[in-house]
């Protein structure tokens, strides 16, 4: 397997004001053979406040094992409300797919067989690309004639709507506490599905208490009305953020050395900037972030043993989503 860290922007191209030296990156899982594989970009969730490590390596390994060359995207986030993200994450994922297509020979992928797979806010990001890809121009001339439209998309417990069932904090991270109606409508994805939206696979649990399942219903209904091929699976129970829903996930054996979780570069740079006195935040806030995210520190346990037992009972049903998605994608990507 070829694991490579790939910066998607040149320093002079990237202008998010609260990056603290971070530049969005992809991390590759590429087969070491001469076959042309379908590709997948994974966008972990985290309310546009973090890029969750539990939705990175584990799904990457699952789809790598199914024959994909996989790229996990660490896109721009807004951890402490320093500056609204606006369209920066959408530009990040747009650049990522264009870069992968432009380097198809190098990455041993089929440029006409690229999936995007997002979780929670990462699913909102993938969905945004699916409905707004024509709006996103690239500043680099070499990429301007390369399509940024995915061929299929997986939306896992997705943030979709800015309306009644919104996950409000995701929209605060994007637009601040006083977004315009135009901004909220633009990123309420169910309003922008057309016949050109890529085929979509959605899954969620009925008992999701963080992002209401109505988000999935709204997008599926919009796909049906627009004639977009889709599959939707709603599992009977389970918490938000189940990732691949395996015992490995539950025990947080997420495949990255503790303290060096590759999706947390931006949070680490923010914490270091705070501790160096380069932000308005008190210096102890930097240490607080490092502990909270387990970056070079022991991370507090996510659940009690009793809570884990309750979650464990839901895993067997939900973990089937990866196989369901793989079978569904074969119709569109012809995975060998």
Buried-exposed string 150-159: b where 16+ CB fall within 10 A, e elsewhere: bbbbbbbbbb
Q: Residue 224 and residue 220: Cα distance in Å, rounded?
A: 6
Q: Residue 168 and residue 170: Cα distance in Å, rounded?
A: 5
Backbone phi and psi for residue 305, each to the nearest 5 degrees, phi listed first: -60, -35
Q: Residue 175 and residue 257: Cα distance in Å, rounded?
A: 33
Backbone phi and psi for residue 2, each to the nearest 5 degrees, phi listed first: -100, 115
Q: Both tokens of residue 189?
A: 């994805």
pLDDT of residue 115: 98
pLDDT of residue 251: 85
Extended strands (E) in 126-218: 152-156, 200-205
pLDDT of residue 254: 63
DSSP 3-state of 41:
strand
pLDDT of residue 303: 87
Backbone phi and psi for residue 230, each to the nearest 5 degrees, phi listed first: -155, 160
Q: Which CATH superfamily is domain 5-256+303-333 in?
A: Alpha/Beta hydrolase fold, catalytic domain (3.40.50.1820)
Any idea where the domains of the chain sit in the sequence?
5-256+303-333
Q: Helical H runs in 145-256? A: 168-175, 181-186, 214-226, 247-250
Q: Helical H runs in the chain? A: 57-65, 88-102, 104-107, 121-132, 168-175, 181-186, 214-226, 247-250, 265-275, 284-292, 305-318, 321-333
pLDDT of residue 298: 79
Q: Both tokens of residue 263?
A: 């999706």
pTM of the entire predicted model = 0.95
CA-closest candidate to residue 203, choices 93, 287, 318, 116 = 318
List of residues 6+ apart from 193 with CB closer than 8 A: 131, 219, 222, 223, 225, 226, 228
pLDDT of residue 260: 46
**Total residues found in the chain within this entry:** 336
Return averaged pLDDT per consecutive 10 residues of the chain, 336 residues in all: 94 95 96 94 97 94 96 97 97 98 96 97 98 96 95 98 95 96 96 97 97 98 98 97 94 59 90 95 94 84 90 96 96 76
């Amino acid at each position: 397997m070829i694991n490579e860290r790939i910066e998607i922007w040149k320093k002079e191209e990237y202008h998010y004001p609260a990056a603290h030296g971070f530049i969005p990156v992809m991390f590759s899982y590429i087969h070491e053979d001469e076959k042309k594989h379908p590709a997948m970009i994974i966008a972990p969730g985290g309310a546009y406040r973090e890029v969750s490590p539990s939705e990175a390596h584990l799904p990457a390994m699952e789809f790598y094992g199914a024959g994909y060359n996989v790229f996990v995207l660490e896109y721009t986030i807004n951890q402490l409300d320093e500056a609204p993200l606006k369209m920066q994450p959408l530009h990040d994922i747009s650049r990522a797919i264009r870069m992968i297509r432009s380097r198809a020979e190098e990455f041993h992928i089929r440029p006409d067989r690229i999936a995007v797979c997002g979780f929670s806010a990462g699913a909102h990001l993938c969905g945004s690309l699916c409905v707004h890809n024509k709006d996103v121009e690239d500043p680099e001339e070499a990429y301007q004639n390369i399509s940024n439209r995915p061929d299929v998309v997986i939306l896992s417990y997705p943030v979709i709507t800015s309306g009644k069932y919104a996950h409000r904090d995701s929209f605060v991270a994007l637009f601040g506490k006083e977004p315009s109606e135009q901004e909220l409508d633009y990123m309420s994805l169910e309003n922008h599905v057309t016949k050109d939206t890529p085929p979509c696979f959605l899954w969620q649990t009925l008992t999701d208490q963080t992002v209401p399942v109505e988000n999935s219903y709204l997008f599926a209904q919009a796909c049906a009305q627009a004639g977009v091929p889709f599959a939707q699976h709603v599992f009977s129970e389970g918490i938000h953020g189940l990732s691949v829903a395996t015992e490995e996930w539950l025990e947080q054996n997420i495949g990255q050395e503790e303290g060096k979780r590759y999706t947390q570069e931006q949070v680490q740079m923010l914490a270091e900037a705070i501790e160096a006195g380069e932000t308005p935040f008190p210096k102890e806030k930097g240490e607080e972030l490092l502990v909270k995210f387990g970056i070079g520190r022991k991370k507090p346990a996510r659940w009690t043993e009793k809570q884990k037992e309750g979650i464990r009972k839901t895993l067997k049903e939900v973990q089937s989503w990866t196989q369901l998605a793989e079978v569904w994608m074969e119709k569109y990507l012809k995975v060998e």
